[in-house]
Amino acid sequence: AIAELLAQQFDTGQLSGKHVVITAGPTREALDPVRYISNHSSGKMGFALAQAAAEAGARVTLISGPVNLPTPPQCERIDVISADDMLQAAEHATSDCDVFIAAAAVADYRPANIAEQKIKKSGEHITLTLTKNPDIVATIAGQPTPPFCVGFAAETQHLGEHAQCKLQRKRLDMIVANDVSQPGIGFNSDDNAVSVFWPGGKQQLAQASKQQLARQLIQLMAERLSATQPQAN
């Protein structure tokens, strides 16, 4: 009940009437019936954003890879495993959405072939061919009438350059960059610190809990959304 009261304090209504679609967590790419490639994303940042967007009055669809997190109140959750599944769910959910936030750590590559039976241990070395996965946020941002698209960039070096390059190349409206090589923030941490870039602007958000950062990010997105939208008056 205290959590609800606190949440109501942040209930700004900035996104009321808006449909926000958020992806969160890792994806898992099967190698065979038992093995997979994945990454260390906990889903905490995406889930915090879903909660903050709901607090701001949005209708929220949360598309989540395999994580161990409870669904935030008021959010519709769709569970997926692979990047292909996540793209399909995102394409469907964004057909009528205003803001698309791609917070998931989607696997860049998947095994070119999924073995039907468990691969037996054999030689000293094996070679695996990986195929590039679809770029979910770029696919959604490349639609004829895309929603306001927010990407994430988890980097271990050249943070700003990589992030701004992705912003332009993928035609995003905003990108949130964090340095996953820094201990105490990012993957699996409760805290984060990010740099936010949009066409013609940027802002640093200092280290804070993912829940606090999520509220700041949702506020920033709501401001940019209203700045970029044609006013209907």
User: Which residue numbers are catalytic?
Assistant: 39
230: which residues sit within 8 A by CB, 6+ positions away? none
187: which residues sit within 8 A by CB, 6+ positions away? 39, 40, 41, 42, 105, 154, 180
When asked if residue 150 is in the footprint of a second copy (CB under 8 A), the reply is: no
Report the length, in residues, of the chain. 233
* Helix (H/G/I), strand (E/B), else coil: 92: helix
User: By CB under 8 A, which span of 53-61, 151-159, 168-176, 205-213 interacts with a second copy?
Assistant: 151-159
Q: Is 49:103 a contact under the CB 8 Å cutoff?
A: yes
Pair of tokens at residue 132: 């590039």
Binding residue for a second copy, selected from 2, 121, 231, 233, defined by CB under 8 A: 121
Pair of tokens at residue 179: 């340095």
Neighbours of 92 (CB within 10 A): 13
Least distance between a second copy and beta carbon 188 (Å)? 10
When asked if residue 92 is in the footprint of a second copy (CB under 8 A), the reply is: no
Binding residue for a second copy, selected from 92, 132, 199, 223, defined by CB under 8 A: 132
When asked if residue 169 is in the footprint of a second copy (CB under 8 A), the reply is: no
Q: Tell me how far apart the alpha carbons of residues 3 and 231 are, in angstroms, rounded to a whole number.
A: 35
Least distance between a second copy and beta carbon 65 (Å)? 14
* Helix (H/G/I), strand (E/B), else coil: 148: strand
Q: Restricting to residues 193-222, which ones interact with a second copy according to CB under 8 A?
A: none
Name the residue nearer to a second copy (CB basis): 44 or 59: 44
Least distance between a second copy and beta carbon 182 (Å)? 11
Binding residue for a second copy, selected from 11, 13, 16, 40, defined by CB under 8 A: 40
Name the residue nearer to a second copy (CB basis): 41 or 82: 41
- Bridge-based pairing of strands 174-179 and 148-155 is parallel
Interface ranges with a second copy (CB under 8 A): 31, 33-41, 68, 105, 107-109, 112, 117-119, 121, 123-132, 154-157, 180-181, 187
